Structures are given as structure tokens and as C-alpha cells.
Chains A and B, each alone.
Chain A
Amino acid sequence: MIQFNIAASSGIPIYKQVVEQIERMILNGYLVCGEFLPSVRQVANDINVNPMTISKAYGLLEERGYLSRQRGKGMMVAQQEEQTSKKEKMAMLEKMIGELISDAAQMGINQQELLALIKTTVESDSSQMIDAVEQGVK
């Protein structure tokens, strides 16, 4: 069961929110190649939106190569080519970082502070991983 998180009153059109959430689920491996998505009607009913919105989102994902339409069976997650997939993952991360930067700017955190924060977070994350590995060895 796919859980969408739709903010109907946001300035981002609902179809775009659906596209982005499915893209993320495919890129982070939550949805895998060969898996079928729920029907347009199902999703429209689940999240209480116009079915045209969902078909528009599915159509766009098909165009971008994330989904492939299987006659009579619905939409299936398509095989992702490793190279394009890497490129898209980077693009997705770039977008998320962009959001992070503008959030930080709104909080009055400058870019140096943000970069420093990212660096310490990455370092503590990897030291924790090393700790975990050492714990495992013991």
C-alpha cells in the first residue's frame, strides 16, 4: 500500500506532488521494478482527489520512463537504467538540497553555517557507522 502525503492547499499542483513522491519511492528503492501501482481510481478514492489528477501524474511518470503501461493490468515500475537513474538521483538530491538551503535562509542561517552543519552531521553519521561496525565485531 502506497501512502501519499498530499497537501491540497499548497501552491504545488497535486499531480506534481504525486509525481515527485512516486519518483522518490522508485529512486530510493521503496518501489521496485516489476511492481504494479494501484489503479487511478483506487488512488483517487484513497486520497480523495480528482482521478484526472492521478492519470496526469501516471502519464508523466510513464513519459519520464519511471512507469510502463501494461495493457489491461495497469502501471508497472519500469527497469531503471543505472546511469540515468544515478543522474536522476543526483537531480532529486539537488532539489532537496535546494529546499534545505531556502529553509535555512528563511531561518536566517547562512550558507557557511549550513555547510558546517552538513559536514559535522556527515562525520558523526560515519563515525556512528564505524562504531556500529566495531560493536558488531565485538
Chain B
Amino acid sequence: MTTSIKISKLTKSFKNETVLNELDWTIRQGDIIGLLGKNGAGKSTLINAILNIDAADSGCVAIFDEDNKSLSSETKARIGFVPQQNDEIPWLTIKELIAFKKQFYPEWNDEKVTELISRWEINTKKKMSELSVGQGQRVLIILALASNPDLMIFDEPAAALDPAGRRDFLREIVNLAVEENKTIIFSTHITSDLERVANKVAILHHGKICHFDELDNVKENVVRVAVHSESVKDIVVPNALNTQKSNNQLSSVVTRLDKGWQQEMQAQGHQVEVNPMGLEDIFLEITA
């Protein structure tokens, strides 16, 4: 497996606040990653630092084995990015903007552009500044998809889209995923957006990627454990994120269920109940 992005010791501060703190993260080609973080966790800061739009204070980022501060134009053409803020040239019509963008990308897909323009009912005679936020975001997504990039980064792509637009956008991501070896990263705080399409989940918390694993593993490993017993006072749950105890009941969220511990508990006559958790609950527990 080849690596698309390798980040080491990335640090970034704003005034007195450290947003990224010696962050390490390696992304393999073909991964479809949902980047989760609370509001203000630094998702956009991280994305901007990866793409060197707003450079980090220290640390390094390699994209397709090239330093992100000196990417070749070939490598740049392999990257698609949809920012949260629409900062495309406001005075060009959409038609002109598409023609302008096209010249920088050798792999430009006219068919995809035509198809999405008609499906999303975008008036190409209008200027970017005349479009609604949602329509503007759709144009940005079309521009990014059209260049047929190997690496796509979306910063909160669903934020300005209505439910139908979100469905469509997710379907496009799914289609991209079918094509071989595309790497997709999308940041979001809406867990339901990524549960259908991401194969991996990364959680940004306290300036680091504190959790990065396959979505299926996350759901299988992070579970809620309840123990019913006459006295739960002395019970210690392994790998617990937090534990609440009352007289005869204990409830705990674990990052991995210790099967040996479970059997031992049951052998001692305690009643152990294990329940799966949805991603939203998992996210809230990990970042609590």
C-alpha cells in the first residue's frame, strides 16, 4: 500500500492557543476518511496546513512523497480541494470559471461536469457571487471532481447542502470510491454523513489525531458495558473511557472489550451486558 499523506509533528498555534500539537498521521492511498472533531477542534486548520494554504509553525507534511511546501505541478494536479469558504473568482460566470480551471488539469472530465451541472440545475451564465451558498458549494464540488484527482479533500462539504444535495454528494463519493485507489478525506461534525461512505474514521481532539481506525473496527471495539451485581464497588473495567457506578449497577464505555475479563466476571456470578454504540455516541464519549 502506498502512502498519500504523511504528517509528522505538525504544530500550529494561534496567539496563545495550540490548535495542532505535534500531530502525526499517515494516510494510505485508497482510504476514505471521515475526519471528526468538535467545533473548534482544528479540522480546517489541519486541512489548511496539509495543503500549505496556511502553513504550520513546525513539523512536516509529505503528499505523494513530496514536501507540501514544494509540490510539483503534476502532483498539484492530482489533488482536489473543496474549502468551507467559497473564494473562487466572483466576477467570472460559472461557464468561464470552468473553462479557466480546465486548463490546469490534464485529466479534466467534461462529461462529469455536464452531467452534474444539469443534475444540480446550475445556471452557468450566473457569476459565482450571484449563486446561493448551497449552489456555490455544488459548483466547487463539481470543479474538484472534474479534475479526476487521486486525492480529494473536502472541508465540511455537507454544511451548506440540503438533504437531497447531501445524498447526491455522498453518491458521488461512493462512485469515486469504486474507481480504484482514490483517497478521500472529508471533515465533518455530522457523524451520519460519514457512516455510509467512510471506511476509516479519524478523531481530532486536543491537537492530535487521538483515534484513527476502520469504521467497522471502531463500532465493533467501542461498546457500552453494563454489570449488574450485588456490589459493583470493587469492579474495575479494563480499557474504560469512563465508568458510572450506582449501588448494584455499573455502566462503562470501553475502547476494547476484554473478553477474558468478561468471562471472569460471569464466572464470579456477575451479570454482564454488552451493547454496541452508534458512531455519534462513540465520538461524544471519546472527545468527552
The finding on whether chains A and B are genuine partners in a shared complex, rather than unrelated, reads: yes
Q: How far is the CA of A9 from the CA of B196 in the complex (A)?
A: 8
Q: Closest CB of chain A to B124's CB: distance in Å?
A: 27
Q: Number of A-B pairs whose CB atoms are under 8 Å?
A: 61
Contact A44 B178 (CB under 8 A): yes
Q: Is the interface of B mostly helix, strand, loop or mixed?
A: helix
Contact A50 B280 (CB under 8 A): no
Interface size on A, residues (CB 8 A): 20
Contacts known (A10-B278, A11-B278, A44-B174); A50 close to B220, Cβ less than 8 A:
no
Contact B174 A14 (CB under 8 A): no
Q: How far is the CA of A51 from the CA of B179 in the complex (A)?
A: 10
Q: How far is the CA of A48 from the CA of B174 in the complex (A)?
A: 7
Does A1 sit at the interface, judged by CB under 8 A? Answer: no
Interface mask (B23-38 → A, CB under 8 Å = 1, otherwise 0): 0000000001000000
List residues of B (199-254) whose CB comes within 8 Å of A's CBs.
199, 215-216, 219-220, 223
Contact A13 B167 (CB under 8 A): no
Query: Which residues on A sit within 8 Å (CB–CB) of B32?
Result: 50, 52
Contact B199 A50 (CB under 8 A): yes
Contact A50 B277 (CB under 8 A): no
Q: How far is the CA of A58 from the CA of B253 in the complex (A)?
A: 31
Contact B219 A13 (CB under 8 A): yes
Residues of B with Cβ closer than 8 Å to A? 32, 167, 170-171, 174-175, 177-178, 191-192, 195-199, 215-216, 219-220, 223, 273, 275-281
